[in-house]
Amino acid sequence: MGIMEDNARLEEQDKRYIWHPFTQMKDWLDEKPVIISGGGGCFLEDVYGNRYLDGVSSLWVNIHGHRKKEIDEAIREQLDHIGHTTMLGLSNIPAIKLAERLVRLIQRSPAGSRPSPNKVFYSDNGSTAVEVALKMAFQYWIHKGKEARTSFLSLRNGYHGDTLGAVSVGGIDIFHSTFAPLLFKTHKAPSPYCYRCELDAAYPGCGLSCLRKMEEILSEHAAEIAAVIVEPLVQTAGGMIVSPPGYLGGVRRLCTNYGVLMIADEVATGFGRTGRMFACEHEGVTPDILCLSKGITGGYLPLAATIATEEIHDAFLGEFRELKTFFHGHSYTGNPLGCAAALACLDIFEREKILEGLGPKIGMLEDFLREAVKFDHVGDARNKGLMAGIELVKEKATKEPYPWEEKRGWRVCNYARDHGVIIRPLGNVVVIMPPLSIGLEDLDRLLKVIGEGVASATA
């Protein structure tokens, strides 16, 4: 069979056998799927040999590019030892080394006097990292001998994954409202979304009135709230919503003052995306529990870590019969291949001084955003580091959004795909999140295509 027949067959089989995530399959079945067969650096290649710039880091996971030699080699080398072994009752070498490395990284962050999280609980994706954090926080208060704290405080527009616990603390109606009857009750604080402030306030004159709302909830309900969970600095899936300076530090202060735990979900913001290794570093914040995944393996393999403070860990210590054990775990917890990839990923951060080299890239992105916001149908263009969002609006003066059914964000992405760039929108927000390794020339091309795509989709 020729290559064209092979490809046609793959397309047919994809449609026959696969149900894609976050995808209206009726639309998918009507379209010609792009099937990736290879790649390298910031590029992906499809089965026809077309090349695409990976403008969303393969859904926010890729850090150092595809087929990065050192990560490839680290995985191959680990394969010569063992592919997988359980963490239930056993340990493994890469998992131990990575835990030590992660804890050192967090401690290195300049922060206040709070003890940093230093006990690493592995799982295999961002949602499970969050489930672990929620269950840990809940059980912690039981062990402290307190009345059970059955609720959490989370934010509107927040996103923490798609499993039911993570959805319970989520705040994106379009994804989450269907499942409302299945969810546990949480308290919802305002999203720190300055462009569309739900309190009709304006930063900095507002003095962070969204935090005052959070404080009102805590002052009334702290005794039933196990933890506050936030995405530090950027509510990513909510639309790349960047919180104003002081907000994150304010959340930390409120958690401390009201005696509730703080969970920082850095699944998206971790590993350099915001310009620092972790977003919490920007405001010198130390959470009680830190959730990591996505970029942890450089975007190669599914791995996650929920890192808790010693204080939380020690509350679970007890005699066997006391049943203080944390009864939670996953089959692929602490997978040695994933941990080996993660160690190689961290080595690259150090050896290639990745964070130190981000300045010019962030500068180019910010120059572009300053121009983009002048477009007739761009209401807001925002970023933190190399994570950015361009919010398209129907009416700039009134901020009236485009009806979401018009799929304006998708029109930009379709334009980009036709011009060799893969991006994926969040409703009316065009997301820009290239691998940190992107070169200035490729970044320039990515931004040009996105600029043209926005002009074309809003013409």
Ligand X SMILES: *Cc1c(COP(=O)(O)O)cnc(C)c1O
The contact set with ligand X (CB under 6 A) reads 125-127, 130, 159-161, 231, 236-237, 265, 267-268, 293-294
Kindly report the CA angle at 383 between 377 and 387, in degrees rounded to 5? 110
Cα(95)–Cα(105) distance, rounded to whole angstroms? Answer: 15
**How far apart are CB 288 and ligand X at their closest, in Å?**
17
Query: In the complex, what is the shortest distance from the CB of residue 128 to ligand X, in angstroms, rounded to a whole number?
Result: 7
Contact 158, 326 (CB under 8 A): no
Nearest to 7 by CA among 36, 29, 28, 27: 36
The span from the CA of 457 to the CA of 413, in Å, is 9
Beta-bridge mates of residue 38: 45
User: What does DSSP say about strands 225-230 and 261-265: parallel, antiparallel, or unpaired?
Assistant: parallel
**CA-CA distance, 144 to 218, in Å (whole number)?**
19
Minimum separation from the CB atom of position 21 to ligand X (A): 9
Q: Which residue is nearest to ligand X (CB)?
A: 126
User: Of 234 and 372, which CB lies nearer to ligand X in the complex structure?
Assistant: 234
3-class DSSP state of 154? strand
Q: Rounded to the nearest 10 degrees, what angle do helices 440-457 and 408-418 cross at?
A: 130
Q: How far is the CB of 451 from ligand X (least distance, A)?
A: 25
Residue 126 CB, nearest approach to ligand X (Å)? 2
CB of 37 to ligand X, least distance (A): 24
| Amino acid (one-letter) located at 58 | S
Q: How far is the CB of 108 from ligand X (least distance, A)?
A: 22
Nearer residue to ligand X within complex by CB, 231 or 283: 231
8 near 29, Cβ under 8 Å?
A: no
Residue 241's SS3 state is: strand
